[in-house]
Amino acid sequence: MPIEIQKDIILKGDCLEILKSFPDNSVDLVFADPPYNMQTEGELLRTDGSSFNGVTDKWDKFEDLHAYDDFSIKWLQECKRVLKKDGAIWVIGSFQNIFRLGYIMQDLGFWILNDVIWSKPNAVPNFGGTRFQNSHETLIWCSKSKNAKYHFNYKTMKHINGDKQMKSVWDIGICIGNERLKDSDGRKIHSTQKPEQLLYNVILSSTEKGDLVLDPFFGTGTTGVIAKRLGRHYIGIEREDAYIEAATKRLNSVQLDLDTDLIDNTYEAKPPRYSIKKLIDLGFLSVGQMLYSKDKKYSAEICPNGNVKVGDFEASIHKASAKFLNRSNNNGWDYFWCEYKGNFVDINSLRYLADKKGGLK
Ligand SMILES: C[S@@+](CC[C@H](N)C(=O)[O-])C[C@H]1O[C@@H](n2cnc3c(N)ncnc32)[C@H](O)[C@@H]1O
């Protein structure tokens, strides 16, 4: 009998210990924001001489790089073990640790899918003017293994990006304003609380509704908040009471988002399987009918075999639309429009109409 793990909880303790109690192949996604090992020494001063509250926490201290590597290998190994076969992992870090983590991840057999740059328009300046302003962090997205069938909601991400393919550089401000958790004296509760938008992109792109997301370095629970908003489950592991308390309070006030199309991955639904030939046979299109680009600048005539022709050139709707666009390939269903019952409609909608009517015109 597989052991059932409890969902939507925060487990207090060292993730190296706690992860050992998880069964193999039990989580869909890991998001890990581990200690950076910043190696900061002394007080950081702003240009006006005031002190800057950087990452100087005890949880970020390691004896040396070997101790950090040793720790990283252990938690990454455990995360790999608990990930499902087709699961994936996102790890975030800065220049101090991300190269070490990437190297270890490759050695452990994770398969890198992308490295994403979190570009911070409101990054902290380099106060001393001794280096460039460090204005980004890096996320490494990996599947459990090279052949894993990892999850990617390509169309959903395109949709939220104004119908353009989403790139691997994300402009997201650091966590400030109402989102930043503060104590009663107005001090930040956590030095490295991540912006919700970052976790939104991560979880929305690589999970489905109901999936289980594990965060072994939960901090103030940003991962749990977004998982809950998107109808996913979470398990957070965190050592510090103050962070657990802040995360719990935060999670208790979170509701499911209202955009059910995003939550339900509606944009990922495969279109009904109808070919042009099938639409001709069913009477939604006819041989000799003209298909047009949306602006009617280009047109092609439907052939009996479901291809289209322009003069002597005959091809599929995909190849014909690619030729009009001067590209090597294109999706013709998204390109062509036609007259249907007195209206100018995109041919894609005829597939849905045919499907809805069970094939009857
Ligand atoms: C970079 S912060 C994560 C911040 C979090 N993503 C957020 O948005 O609030 C790393 C967290 O890991 C916790 N931590 C460090 N080592 C740990 C360990 N071995 N087990 C569990 N938690 C640990 C620290 O207390 C810290 O809160």
**Residue 24, pLDDT score:** 97
87 close to ligand 1 (CB < 6 Angstrom): no
Give the residue carrying structure tokens 């304003």.
177
Q: Quick one: CA dihedral 233, 226, 206, 268, positive or negative?
A: positive
Q: Is the CB of 194 under 6 A from ligand 1?
A: yes
9-268 belongs to CATH 3.40.50.150: yes
Q: Is 281 in the pocket of ligand 1 (CB under 6 A)?
A: no
What is the dihedral angle through the alpha carbons of 137, 63, 10, 138, rounded to the nearest 10 degrees? 10
User: Can you spell out the DSSP letters for 304-355?
Assistant: TTS-EEETTEEE-HHHHHHHHHTSS---GGGT-EEEETTEEEEHHHHHHHHH
**Calpha distance 67→222 (Å, rounded):** 27
Distance (Å) from CA 264 to ligand 1 centroid? 30
Of 359, 337, 360, whose CA–CA distance to 347 is shortest? 337
Using the mean position of ligand 1's atoms as its centre, give its distance from the Cα of residue 56 in Å.
13
Beta bridge partners of 136: 119
Distance CA 187, CA 65 (A): 30
Q: What is Dmax (Cα atoms) for the chain?
A: 79
Rounded distance from Cα 217 to ligand 1 centre (Å): 4
User: For residue 171, what are the β-bridge partners?
Assistant: 119
Which atom from ligand 1 is nearest to the alpha carbon of 14?
20
Is the CB of 179 inside a 6 Å radius of any atom of ligand 1?
no
Residue/partner pairs of 312-318 with CB below 8 Å, 24 or more apart: 317/276, 317/291, 317/347
Mean pLDDT over the full length of the chain: 93
- Distance from Cα 4 to the centre of ligand 1, integer Å: 25
List the beta bridge partners of residue 112.
142
Q: Is the CB of 14 under 6 A from ligand 1?
A: yes
The token duo for 135 is 């204005």
Give, for ligand 1, the residue of 19, 59, 226 to mutate: max count of ligand atoms closer than 8 Å to Cβ.
59
Q: How confident is the prediction along the chain (361 residues), in pLDDT tens digits per residue?
A: 556 789 999 999 999 999 999 999 999 999 999 999 987 666 666 666 666 666 678 888 999 999 999 999 999 999 999 999 999 999 999 999 999 999 999 999 999 999 999 999 999 999 889 999 999 999 999 999 999 999 999 999 999 999 999 999 999 999 999 999 999 999 999 999 999 999 999 999 999 999 999 999 999 999 999 999 999 999 999 999 999 999 999 999 999 999 999 999 999 988 888 999 999 999 999 999 999 999 999 999 999 999 999 999 999 999 999 999 999 999 999 999 999 999 999 999 999 999 888 766 6
Separation of CA 347 and ligand 1 centre (Å): 51
Going edge to edge, which strands form the sheet with 169-171? 9-12, 233-238, 212-215, 27-32, 83-93, 136-143, 111-119, 169-171
Q: What is the whole-number distance in angstroms between the Cα of residue 242 and the centre of ligand 1?
A: 12
Predicted confidence at residue 358, as pLDDT, reads 75
How far apart are the CA of 14 and the centre of ligand 1, in A? Answer: 10
DSSP conformation letters of 122-142: TPPP-TTSSS----EEEEEEE
CA-closest candidate to residue 15, choices 238, 219, 192: 238
Q: Which atom of ligand 1 is nearest to the CA of 71?
A: 19
| Closest by Cα among 343, 341, 345 to 283 | 341
Enter the pTM of the model. 0.84
Pairing outcome for strands 136-143 and 83-93: antiparallel
